């Protein structure tokens, strides 16, 4: 019998989002700190990965254990940001999933990194 774990490596999920000036104003109000002028704050981009991990891959019940992001280029308000997570390895005996994370916009890489999560126990979609 094939399980989710047997076919997980290589699976990917993605999400696209455009952050507006209104989103940045909300971020400033919530955090008390204004982002650098003309840029989308890095935590908003990181949140796209959190959304994917908790809703799509591995999905509901996922717990973050570790995340490493290396930002290479700033995102600008109004441009479409695409975040992608791809499963690079699984350890079913511990319910651990390693993922590669990448965010792009306008043909350039905004950030790359890795995430380690604990997936909820069976059944997984």
Cα separation, 9 vs 3, whole angstroms: 12
Q: For the chain, give the percent of residues with pLDDT over 70.
A: 94
Number of Cβ within 10 Å of residue 35's Cβ equals: 19
Summarize the confidence of residues 61-80 as an average pLDDT. Answer: 92
4-118: what CATH class? Answer: alpha beta
Q: Write out the two tokens for 87.
A: 């499963």
Span 31-59, mean pLDDT?
Answer: 85
Write down the pLDDT at residue 38.
81
Interval 6-13 mean pLDDT: 92
Cβ neighbours for 39, distance < 8 A, ≥ 6 positions apart? 74, 75, 76, 77
Q: How do residues 94-121 score in pLDDT, each as one tens digit? A: 989 999 999 999 999 999 999 999 987 6
Percent of the chain topping pLDDT 90 = 59
User: Region 50-67: what's the mean pLDDT?
Assistant: 87
Lowest mean pLDDT among 63-67, 86-90, 101-105: 63-67
What's the mean pLDDT when you consider all of the chain?
89
Whether the predicted pLDDT of 66 surpasses 80? yes
- Residue 125 is predicted with a pLDDT of 44
- The full set of domain ranges for the chain reads 4-118
């Amino acid at each position: 019998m094939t399980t989710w774990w047997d076919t997980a490596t290589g699976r990917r999920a993605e999400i696209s989002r455009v952050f507006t000036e209104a989103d940045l104003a909300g971020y400033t109000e919530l955090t008390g700190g204004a982002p650098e002028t003309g840029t989308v704050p890095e935590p908003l981009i990181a949140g796209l990965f959190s959304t994917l991990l908790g809703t799509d891959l591995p999905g509901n019940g996922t717990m973050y254990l570790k995340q490493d992001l290396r930002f290479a280029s700033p995102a600008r308000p109004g441009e479409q940001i695409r975040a992608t997570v791809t499963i690079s390895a699984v350890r079913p005996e511990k319910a651990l999933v390693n993922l590669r994370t990448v965010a792009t916009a306008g043909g350039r890489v905004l950030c790359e990194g890795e995430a380690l999560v604990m997936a909820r126990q069976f059944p997984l979609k």
